[in-house]
Structure 1
Amino acid sequence: MKDVIFDDFQNAVDESLLRHKSIIDIMTKFQESNGRINRAIAKSVTNCGCIKVNAVKQYFPTGKEDMDIKDLKKYLKSHVDGKLCDNCRDILEREIGNNLFYLTSLCNILNLNLFDIILKEYDKMNTLGKYTFR
């Protein structure tokens, strides 16, 4: 069922894309949409203030050879304090949706199936386990 949703989305994107049909247009629109996501996050911090970035050096404990990789997660931080307000959440969802549109457009123009790509990445994560951490 999930592959049908992805395929339907990919087909709808293909039918919707008219003005920016060139791969050059799609690449630059995809890059622009990435920038708009970053800008929306920055405005959530600097304009709205619903979230705050508290970035410091990540702490990696040393000398604990018996520590499991799962234990390491409790030491690593996202550096985000707070929670997105409804307005900032709506803006970010819209920008991420736009980004997905252009990502899917790239898949379409290059004859790639988005669902298959997600499955391959998911399988890689499951197969490699902790060695796929990025």
Structure 2
Amino acid sequence: MKDIIFDDFQNAVDDSLLRHKSLLDIITKLEESQGRINRALAKSVTNCGCIEIHAKKQPSPNNDDIDMDSYKKQLNTHLDGTLCDNCREVLEREIGNNLFYLTSLCNLLDLNLYDVLLKEYNKINTLGKYTFR
């Protein structure tokens, strides 16, 4: 069922993309949309203040025998707070635009978005925490 939603989305993107059919248009719009996500996040911190960033050096494992689960618990997101409704709405819109252009790129290259997601999902499930991302 979920693959149908992805396929329907991918087809809807293909039907609605009119002005930016060129590969160059799509990749620059994809990059621009990523910048807009970053800008919306920055504005959530600097203008709204609903989230705060408290960054510091992440701890390094002391030896090769470290347990990955306990190491993961030591890592910090550097993020405090939660998005307010307005910032959440802006970020959802910007992430949606990013998905639109990512899907447009998939369409242009004859890649199925669901297949790409499924391969990444399987890789993560196979390697688990050892993907080291």
Does the alignment reach a TM-score above 0.5? yes
Shift in alpha-carbon separation, 1:86–1:63, aligned structure 2, 3 A: same
The Cα of 1:73 is off from its aligned counterpart by 1.6
Aligned to 1:28: 28
Q: TM-score, normalised by structure 1?
A: 0.95
- After superposition, the CA RMSD in angstroms is 1.2
- Which amino acid letter does the alignment assign opposite residue 15 of structure 1? D
| Rounded Cα–Cα distance in structure 2 between residues aligned with 1:131 and 1:79 | 22
Q: Tell me, what secondary structure is at the counterpart of 1:81?
A: strand
Contact 1:60/1:75, CA 8 A, preserved across alignment: no
Contact 1:13/1:105, CA 8 A, preserved across alignment: yes
Q: Tell me, what secondary structure is at the counterpart of 1:40?
A: helix
Q: Tell me, what secondary structure is at the counterpart of 1:74?
A: helix
| Rounded Cα–Cα distance in structure 2 between residues aligned with 1:106 and 1:63 | 42
1:60-104 deviation per Cα after TM superposition (whole angstroms, max 9, x unaligned) = 342583x42111121000101111000000000000000000000
| Rounded Cα–Cα distance in structure 2 between residues aligned with 1:55 and 1:123 | 32
| Structure 1 gap ranges (5+) | none
Between 4-13 and 121-130, report the one with greater CA deviation. 121-130
Contact 1:40/1:91, CA 8 A, preserved across alignment: yes
Q: Tell me, what secondary structure is at the counterpart of 2:73?
A: coil
Q: Tell me, what secondary structure is at the counterpart of 1:58?
A: coil
Aligned to 1:55: 55
Q: TM-score, normalised by structure 2?
A: 0.96
- Which amino acid letter does the alignment assign opposite residue 47 of structure 2? N
The Cα of 1:131 is off from its aligned counterpart by 1.9
Q: Counterparts of 1:69-80 in structure 2 under 5 Å?
A: 69-80=68-79
The number of residues matched between the two structures is 133
| Structure 2 gap ranges (5+) | none
- Runs (4+) of structure 1 exceeding 4 A deviation are none
Q: Tell me, what secondary structure is at the counterpart of 1:73?
A: helix
